[in-house]
Amino acid sequence: MNTEQKDKLKQVTERIKYLRDILDFSQVEVAEKLGISTALYNEYETGVKDIPISMMYGVAAIFGVDATEILTGEAPRMLDYTVTRKDSGIEIDRYVGYKFEALAHNYKNKNKEPMLVTIDLSDTPPELVSHSGQEFNYVLEGKIGVTIGKKTVVLETGDCIYFDPRIPHGQFAVEGRAKFLTVIDKEN
């Protein structure tokens, strides 16, 4: 993780701690609601471990705020529609070689989270995550592997997959850099 990513992570963890404190939640309560150990939650909140995007959305739901507020420190403002121009989404660098671009960050009360994801080829298998809702991935460039539980599906440009993200899952690049659109339905 480079210095800029570390600074962004620190800002995110400070926002999470601030919201938890003002809403009078203990770390134990938030960890229980997320379904993780208090020790793991503490590692996320203190920045010892990088925070999975799914955990950020879980924390936002618990605190009753939009994930954009946790990621950027600003609340979404648009009600009727929002336009995000090419390359102007909120960038979220979560892991080395794995970049998210939030595409509807300025829309209030959204129940879906569309993101552009760019991933580089890696020797390390993806960390599997799980979250509520439903998820859709559409490959824009290259090839991605999608691991869902014990099954891995390889998708090429133009292919898509829709799945239950409560099943541990992760995406990875196959044969070089890949880009895909993911839409996460946060309801459920």
Query: Which CATH number do you get for residue 60?
Result: 1.10.260.40
Q: Is the Cβ–Cβ distance between 131 and 57 less than 8 Å? A: yes
Residue 44 phi, psi dihedral angles, 5° rounding: -70, -50
Question: Does residue 33 fall inside a structural domain?
Answer: yes
Question: Does residue 102 fall inside a structural domain?
Answer: no
Question: Does residue 32 fall inside a structural domain?
Answer: yes
Confidence (pLDDT) at 1: 59
- Same domain (yes/no): 66, 118: no
Confidence (pLDDT) at 30: 95
Confidence (pLDDT) at 16: 93
Residues 6+ apart with CB under 8 A from 66: 60, 75, 76, 108, 109, 110
Question: Does residue 10 fall inside a structural domain?
Answer: yes
Strand partners, 162: 136
Tens digits of per-residue pLDDT, 80-119?
Answer: 888 888 888 887 766 667 788 889 888 888 888 899 999 9
- Same domain (yes/no): 116, 67: no
Question: Does residue 89 fall inside a structural domain?
Answer: no
- Cα-atom radius of gyration of the chain, to the nearest Å? 16
Helix, strand, coil distribution of the chain in percent, nearest 5: 30, 35, 40
Question: Does residue 77 fall inside a structural domain?
Answer: no
SS3 177: strand
Domain stops at, among 72, 95, 120? 72
- Same domain (yes/no): 118, 67: no
CATH number of residue 115's parent domain: 2.60.120.10
Do β-strands 169-185 and 160-163 pair in parallel, antiparallel, or remain unpaired? unpaired
Number of domains in the chain: 2
Give the angle subtended at the CA of 137 by the CAs of 135 and 142, to the nearest 5°.
160
Query: What six digits make up the tokens of 175?
Result: 């044969």
Confidence (pLDDT) at 181: 96
- Same domain (yes/no): 116, 180: yes
- Same domain (yes/no): 68, 123: no
Question: Does residue 100 fall inside a structural domain?
Answer: no
Q: Is the Cβ–Cβ distance between 139 and 156 less than 8 Å? A: yes
Q: Is the Cβ–Cβ distance between 153 and 169 less than 8 Å? A: no
- Same domain (yes/no): 123, 67: no
Euclidean distance between CA atoms 37 and 121, whole angstroms: 31
- Whether the per-residue pLDDT at 11 is higher than 70: the answer is yes
Confidence (pLDDT) at 158: 97
Question: Does residue 87 fall inside a structural domain?
Answer: no
Q: Is the Cβ–Cβ distance between 155 and 143 less than 8 Å? A: yes
Tens digits of per-residue pLDDT, 16-34?
Answer: 999 999 999 999 999 999 8
- Same domain (yes/no): 67, 115: no
- Same domain (yes/no): 61, 119: no
Domain with 178 in it = 111-185
- Same domain (yes/no): 178, 117: yes
- Same domain (yes/no): 122, 181: yes
Instruction: Kindly report the pTM of this predicted structure.
Output: 0.78
- Whether the per-residue pLDDT at 122 is higher than 80: the answer is yes
Confidence (pLDDT) at 171: 93
Top pLDDT among 19 and 75 is at 19
